[in-house]
Amino acid sequence: MPNTYLKIDHVSKTFPTPTGEFCALDNVDLAINQGEYISIIGHSGCGKSTVLNVVAGLLDPSEGGVILENREISGPGPDRAVVFQHHSLMPWLSVYENVALAVRRVFKGKKSKAEMHDWIVHNLTLVHMDHAMEKLPSEISGGMKQRVGIARALAMQPKVLLMDEPFGALDALTRSHMQESLMEIQTELNNTIIMITHDVDEAVLLSDKIIMMTNGPSATIGEVLEIDLPRPRNRVRLADNPTYNHYRQQVLSFLYERQRNPLDTKAKTEVSAETETPVETEKSVENRTPETAVTKSEPEKGDPQPPQDQPALKIVDRSGQAA
Ligand SMILES: Nc1ncnc2c1ncn2[C@@H]1O[C@H](COP(=O)(O)OP(=O)(O)OP(=O)(O)O)[C@@H](O)[C@H]1O
Ligand SMILES: [Mg+2]
Pocket of ligand 1 contains residue 259 by CB under 6 Å: no
Other C-beta atoms closer than 10 Å to the C-beta of 94 total 18
Collapsed DSSP state (helix, strand, coil) of residue 252? helix
Q: To test ligand 1's pocket by mutation, which of 22, 198, 214 has the most ligand atoms within 8 angstroms of CB? A: 22
Ligand 1 atom closest to Cα of residue 51? 18
How many A from CA of 49 to the centre of ligand 2?
4
**In this structure, what are the phi and psi dihedrals at residue 113, rounded to the nearest 5 degrees?**
-60, -45
Ranges of H-type helices in the chain: 48-56, 95-107, 113-126, 142-155, 172-189, 200-206, 235-238, 242-253, 262-265, 268-275, 282-287
Pocket of ligand 1 contains residue 47 by CB under 6 Å: yes
Instruction: Give percent above pLDDT 70 in the chain.
Output: 80
Which segment of 76-80, 91-95, 281-285 scores lowest on mean pLDDT? 281-285
Gap between the Cα atoms of 213 and 25, Å rounded: 10
pTM of this prediction?
0.81
pLDDT tens per residue across span 177-215 = 889 988 988 888 899 999 999 999 999 999 999 999 999
Is the confidence at residue 289, as pLDDT, over 80? Answer: no
Sheet holding 80-83, edge to edge: 80-83, 160-164, 192-196, 37-41, 209-213, 221-226
Which residues have their alpha-adjacent CB atom under 5 A from ion ligand 2?
A: 49
130: DSSP letter: G
Give the confidence band of 1 by pLDDT, cuts at 50, 70, 90: low
Question: Going by CA atoms, what residue is nearest to atom 6 of ligand 1?
Answer: 15
